[in-house]
Amino acid sequence: SDVALDLLAGKDFEHAKIIVQVTLPARAALGVDNTPGHLVGYGDIAAQQAAELAYQADATWRRILTEPATGRVLDVGRRHYSPPAALRDHIQASMPTCTGPGCVRPAAQCDLEHREPFPAGPTDEHNVHPACRSHHRGKTFGGWKIIKRGGILEWVSPCGYRYPHTPEPITHPEPAPPPF
pTM, entire model: 0.53
Do residues 59 and 22 make contact, with C-beta atoms less than 8 angstroms apart?
Answer: no
% the chain with pLDDT above 70:
85
**Mean of pLDDT values over 75-84:** 58
Q: What pLDDT, on a 0 to 100 scale, did the predictor assign at position 72?
A: 67
> From CA 95, how far away is CA 99, in angstroms rounded?
7
Q: What pLDDT, on a 0 to 100 scale, did the predictor assign at position 14?
A: 66
C-alpha 78 chain-centroid distance: 18
Q: What pLDDT, on a 0 to 100 scale, did the predictor assign at position 110?
A: 94
For 33-72, the pLDDT digits (tens) are: 888 888 888 888 998 888 888 787 777 766 666 667 777 6
All structural domains of the chain with their residue ranges: 2-61, 73-165
Higher-scoring residue by pLDDT: 63, 109: 109
Q: What pLDDT, on a 0 to 100 scale, did the predictor assign at position 138?
A: 93
